[in-house]
Structure 1
Amino acid sequence: MTLGVPKNQVLLVPYDDQWQTAFQQTKTTLLRVTRLTDRQIEHIGSTAIEGLKAKPIIDLLIGVENLLTLDDDFFLQLQACGFHRLQIKKEDEIICAKFADPDFNIKTHIIHLVTIHQEKWHDLIFFRDFLKQQLAYRQEYEEVKVAFFETEDQGIEAYTSYKEAFVKKILDFRQA
């Protein structure tokens, strides 16, 4: 199984059913070490969507009651599972990551910490579930991702921006 992408690089690989196993193993560890419950941890991102090319990084969605009340103990528990809080500033999300190397260069897992059952939580789950159910849109999303490599742009921020219009189009279905 291919897992991990070096910092600020973008790599797409064919779907690997071992990604689901990697997610389940990580979820089991998180449930054992933290106070999280099963309903708080979801597999999101392209590695959660069978048949879709993806960056080989396992994305986990973790929903908590309130981001502002997370204490140091919670982040120490995540650290015991190999996750480190990143210095990425987002209003409605905290990002943690697990790395394959001691220099924190090759990211293998990302945790998206959000407030459970709020807008961000529902958007991320809707996007995943919609693409799982809608083959034509899943294929279109893969085409968008592959087309990025034909541009002059590089890096994860450019890749994310490149996909933004498609993501918005799908999330608009949720609002309808």
Structure 2
Amino acid sequence: MKLGLKNNEVVIVPYNQEWEIEFNGVRQEILKNINLNCNCIEHVGSTAIKGIKAKPIIDILIGVDDISKLDDSFFNQLKKLGFYRLRIQKHDEIVCAKFIDNTFEIKTHIIHLVNFNQKKWNDLILFRDILRTHDNIKKQYENIKQTFLENNLNEITAYTDYKENFVKDTLKNYRE
């Protein structure tokens, strides 16, 4: 199984069942080394959806009581596992990544630290679960990603923005 993409690169590959095995291994390492509730680590993103093309990066959602209270010792524990805090600024999320080596060029895993059972947590879990249980929505989502790449757009921020309306509309429609 090949994992990882260079910074700002966007490539999607066919689903690989080893992604789930990889997630479970990393989850166990996190639980063994960091004091967390085992119910607050989830596999999210397209690598968590059987049968859908995805960027070959494992997305890990970790819910904590209050992200604003995470201190240096918490991030030092993550660093020992190979995860580094990124400079991405979001009010409801802290992002960490694991890289292939110390050049920090190719990301293999991303941790999304959010407040447990709050909006960001709930949205990410709900969207994942919708894709897992609705083949028609899963196919639409995959088509959106494929269309982006066919238009020769290869920049991660544009890719994320391109998918965002679909994600928001799907969540809104599901909740109505």
The equivalent of 2:155 in structure 1 is 155
**Identical aligned residues as a percent:** 51
Match runs of 1:1-176 below 5 Å: 1-176=1-176
Number of residue pairs matched by the alignment: 176
1:114: how far off? 0.2
Question: Following superposition, which runs of at least 4 residues in structure 1 exceed 3 angstroms of deviation?
Answer: none
Distance 1:52 1:163 in 2: 15
User: In structure 1, the residue corresponding to 2:104 is in which secondary structure?
Assistant: coil
Paired amino acid for 1:122: N
| Alignment deviations for residues 8-53 of structure 1 (CA, whole Å, 9 cap, x no partner) | 0001000000000000000000000000121110000000000000
1:168: how far off? 1.0
Partners of 1:126 and 1:174 within 8 A in 2: no
Gaps of 5+ in 1: none
Paired amino acid for 1:11: V
| Alignment deviations for residues 68-88 of structure 1 (CA, whole Å, 9 cap, x no partner) | 111111111111111000000
Distance 2:111 2:96 in 1: 5
Structure-2-length-normalised TM-score: 0.97
1:154: how far off? 2.4
User: In structure 2, the residue corresponding to 1:164 is in which secondary structure?
Assistant: helix
Partners of 1:41 and 1:62 within 8 A in 2: yes
Paired amino acid for 1:114: V
1:174: how far off? 4.2
Distance 2:152 2:29 in 1: 40
Paired amino acid for 1:170: T
Gaps of 5+ in 2: none
User: In structure 1, the residue corresponding to 2:88 is in which secondary structure?
Assistant: coil
